[in-house]
Amino acid sequence: MNVEVEKSYGLLRFINKPRSRPVRFLYAVLGWCALMVLGSPMAVAADSFRLAREPNGVKIVLRRIIWFVHTGWLPISIRSDFFFDISEKMSPGACKVLIDWIGKNRRIDEFERLIWQADLHGGIIERHCDQAGELWLKPGDPLYEEDVRFCKCLDAALARLGSLIEKPLPESKPSRKFTKSDDSFDKADAYSTIADLRSLMSQLEWPWYVVSGTLLGAVREQDFLGHDYDIDVGVDYDDFDLYRLQELVDKSGGTWFIKASSYCVFREPSSEGSIHYHRMEKPILVKLVHRTGLVADLFVHVEEEGVVWHGSAIHRWDNSPFELADYQLGREHVMGAADADRYLTENYGDWRTPVLNFDCSIDPPNIRYSKTARAVTYLSKVVYRFLLDQDIERAKRYLDSMTSSGVIIHEGSGWRYNGSQGSD
């Protein structure tokens, strides 16, 4: 049975709300039981039990449960969470156990097995890089061999995508689709979030400004876009200090908590044959959760080589440097790029015409992809999802965009990772 679940603002708000320690412990027990029933290896269930007790771990454990519903013994295929990185926050030991478990799994497609193994090999390296800050991997090093396995799995997964384009899978429409209810973006919550964010930033004395879809709403509608799920705000890299932010969040009395801090872990092969993994000193994205459950995506903006860019471990959007001006956002006032027309044109092209199906991964004129292993595995999963939906043209658009950005190489009827050893 194929099941598909659409993202719901109400569900996201429920999941993102902070939980007390006793409630997190209860979720940890329930999560451990669910994973064991679904056939998870003991090491992964134990790792999830530990993670669920952390303030921001419950959502990741829930996604692991959904992943095991899809991959485990139940005759259910969930087509909603292919994009999840199963290695997220997972210990290296649990990653290794799960790699072996996936290798023996015959319920899933070859692409799924390969791409999730690539995620886990990459996750093992990233956990080590998280601790050290950077790694120089040379032939013969255990982590170098882990990187070799990552590349082999990713190249094989990309080859599988090429074969699926040549010979698509039989159409398999979801037998059950759970569509979201009419629980659109709650603007009252959004106004409250902006007001509390202004208070937080004034204590930090950081200039802050709205970006992306939030600025688009302020300019085009003088309010939030009705189909939004979160708030996009920015600060400058030089101003940002995660420790100061965490300190004030801890003192906010439950108004805020930090759900996640995303770092760019760059992977760069050297001409001498070694592989350099290095992490930016500061996170590029911090997800702040308001007491209402609404998420404020705090993008740390980096200015280099004449552009200002922001993004994540996957995407990067380049803009011309900009000054700030005041904008009306519903009942709130916010700052944003003074030359809004230039900024929004760089991000959206014809920004004056509303587009509900805008794809942030390929539609923005200023889209780039981060030089991270995580970017290629994520985007490959998106391609696979489109192939499952028989949307061959959209899948090819993604592959063309990845190729033009230099993260993969087109060879014959297939593709390979542009970071593989021995590649150009």
pLDDT classification of 160: cutoffs 50, 70, 90? very high
pLDDT over 70 at 176, yes or no: no
Residue 370 CB partners (closer than 8 Å, separation 6+): 264, 266, 311, 312, 313, 314, 315, 316
Name the pairing type of β-strands 307-311 and 315-319: antiparallel
Instruction: Determine the average pLDDT of the residues in 281-300.
Output: 93
Give the pLDDT confidence score for residue 74 in this predicted structure.
82
- Strand-pair partners of 150: none
Q: What is the DSSP string of 108-134?
A: S-HHHHHHHHHHHHHHHHHHHHHHHSE
pLDDT classification of 181: cutoffs 50, 70, 90? very low
pLDDT classification of 383: cutoffs 50, 70, 90? very high
d(CA 162, CA 38): 32
Instruction: Determine the average pLDDT of the residues in 356-385.
Output: 90
Q: Which residue has the higher pLDDT, 358 or 77?
A: 358
| pLDDT digits 0-9 by tens, 63-97 | 999 999 989 888 877 766 667 899 999 999 999 99
User: Could you give the 3-state DSSP secondary structure of residue 85?
Assistant: coil
What values do phi and psi take at 85, rounded to 5?
-90, 105
**Tell me, what DSSP letter sits at residue 334?**
E
Give the pLDDT confidence score for residue 12 in this predicted structure.
58
- Strand-pair partners of 50: none
d(CA 33, CA 416): 39
Percent of the chain with pLDDT over 70: 90
User: Could you give the 3-state DSSP secondary structure of residue 287?
Assistant: strand
- Please choose, from the candidates 40, 48, 49, 117, the residue with its C-alpha nearest in 3D space to the C-alpha of residue 71: 40
Q: How far is CA 303 from the centre of its chain?
A: 22
Give the pLDDT confidence score for residue 171 in this predicted structure.
65
For the entire predicted model, the pTM comes to: 0.87
Give the pLDDT confidence score for residue 21 in this predicted structure.
85
pLDDT over 50 at 423, yes or no: no
Answer whether 341's CB lies under 8 Å from 321's CB: no
- How high is the mean pLDDT of the chain? 89
Answer whether 197's CB lies under 8 Å from 296's CB: yes
Give the pLDDT confidence score for residue 408 in this predicted structure.
93
Instruction: Determine the average pLDDT of the residues in 315-340.
Output: 96
Kind plus residue range of the DSSP H or E element containing 278: strand 275-279
| pLDDT digits 0-9 by tens, 200-222 | 999 999 999 999 999 999 999 99
92-106, 170-184, 251-265, 402-416, range with greatest mean pLDDT: 92-106
Give the pLDDT confidence score for residue 4 in this predicted structure.
59
Instruction: Please report where in the chains the tokens 């993008």 appear, as a residue.
Output: 299
Give the pLDDT confidence score for residue 230 in this predicted structure.
85
Q: Which of 205-219, 322-336, 340-354, 358-372 has the lowest mean pLDDT?
A: 358-372
Give the pLDDT confidence score for residue 180 in this predicted structure.
46
| pLDDT digits 0-9 by tens, 27-64 | 999 999 999 999 999 999 999 999 999 877 888 999 99
Percent of the chain with pLDDT over 90: 67
d(CA 360, CA 133): 29
- Phi/psi class of residue 107: alpha, beta or left (left: φ > 0; alpha: ψ in -120 to 50)? alpha
Task: Report which residue type is found at 338.
Answer: A
Answer whether 171's CB lies under 8 Å from 391's CB: no
H helices of 177-262, in order, are 187-204, 212-220, 242-250
| pLDDT digits 0-9 by tens, 94-152 | 999 999 999 999 889 999 999 999 999 999 999 999 888 899 999 999 999 999 999 99
Give the pLDDT confidence score for residue 65 in this predicted structure.
94
CB atoms within 10 A of CB 399: 22
How open is the CA angle 402-408-409, to the nearest 5 degrees?
Answer: 115
Give the pLDDT confidence score for residue 73 in this predicted structure.
87
Task: Report which residue type is found at 408.
Answer: I
Over its C-alpha atoms, the chain yields an Rg (Å, rounded) of 21
Q: Which residue has the higher pLDDT, 283 or 355?
A: 283
**Tokens matching residue 420:** 């593989």
d(CA 33, CA 397): 41
User: In angstroms, how far is the first alpha carbon of the chain from the final one?
Assistant: 43
d(CA 392, CA 29): 42
Domains in the chain, start-ordered, CATH in brackets?
2-178 (no CATH), 187-368 (3.30.460)
Give the pLDDT confidence score for residue 422 in this predicted structure.
42
